[in-house]
Structure 1
Amino acid sequence: MALVLIVDDSPTEVHVLGGYLKKHGFEIEAASDGREGIEKARALKPDLVLMDVVMPGMNGFQATRELARAPDTADIPVVMVTTKGLETDKIWGMRQGAKDYLVKPVSETQLVEKVRAALGSND
């Protein structure tokens, strides 16, 4: 069972996204901001991180960049899940090291497909 770390400052988003993934057999952990997300990613070594962008303190772009550049977390795929839907936001997210980019609101089917694709053979 793959472990997915959801990094989002909205308890509602964590509940909704986590619910979708649990239905499909994924284990869920959550963090409420970028800094906590990095700490949990280092401690838990999740199979995948779902990263919001707009959060207090360290935003999702900064956290994704740090995860992608650190040797101990560089192999953990990050999928951005955010309300920031401009093409420039998506390009910037991918440049920070994200494997994929989803714009909220996200459907259950869309989320599960992207998570499975990002996990590749790890699922």
Structure 2
Amino acid sequence: MTRILVVDDSPTETHVLKSMLEQHGYEVSIAEDGDEGMDKARRERPDVILMDIVMPGVNGFQATRKLTRDPETSSIPIVIISTKDQDTDRIWAKRQGALDYITKPVTEDELLGKIDAALKG
């Protein structure tokens, strides 16, 4: 079963994503901030990480940069999911090591397409 780690501080957003993904057979784990997300990524080794940007403490850009530069987690694809929709945010996310970027609100088709692409490498 494909394992996905959702890193987002919004209980509503994590509930929506978790429900959507579980309907399609994914195993979903939740982290509420960047620190917890990095810990869970190292411990659980998910197949894909869905990362919010704006979170307390370590933000999504910082967590993405740390995870993609850590040999233990660098092979895990990270897709940013954020309300921030500026081109500069997308460019910065890619520079931090994110594979892709989705703007909230997320549609099911877009989310599943990005996850499928991330899994294929």
Partner amino acid, structure 2, of 1:26? Y
In structure 1, C-alpha distance between the alignment counterparts of 2:18 and 2:105, rounded to whole Å: 14
In structure 1, C-alpha distance between the alignment counterparts of 2:47 and 2:114, rounded to whole Å: 13
In structure 2, C-alpha distance between the alignment counterparts of 1:12 and 1:120, rounded to whole Å: 29
* Cα displacement string for residues 65-93 of structure 1 (whole angstroms, at most 9, x for unaligned residues): 00000000000000000001000000000
SS at 1:117's partner residue? Answer: helix
Does the 8 A contact of 1:20 with 1:112 survive in 2? no
Paired residue total: 121
The corresponding residue for 1:54 is: 54
In structure 2, C-alpha distance between the alignment counterparts of 1:39 and 1:55, rounded to whole Å: 15
TM-score by length of 1: 0.97
In structure 1, C-alpha distance between the alignment counterparts of 2:118 and 2:22, rounded to whole Å: 17
Displacement of 1:112? 0.7
In structure 2, C-alpha distance between the alignment counterparts of 1:59 and 1:93, rounded to whole Å: 11
In structure 1, C-alpha distance between the alignment counterparts of 2:6 and 2:36, rounded to whole Å: 11
Runs of 4+ displaced beyond 3 Å: none
Paired residues for 1:1-123 under 5 Å: 1-120=1-120
Q: Which runs of 5+ in 2 are unaligned?
A: none
In structure 1, C-alpha distance between the alignment counterparts of 2:25 and 2:109, rounded to whole Å: 14
TM-score by length of 2: 0.98
> Equivalent pairs: percent with the same residue?
56
Does the 8 A contact of 1:6 with 1:28 survive in 2? yes
Displacement of 1:25? 0.7
Q: Which runs of 5+ in 1 are unaligned?
A: none
- Over aligned residues, Cα RMSD in angstroms? 0.7
Partner amino acid, structure 1, of 2:78? V
Displacement of 1:96? 0.2
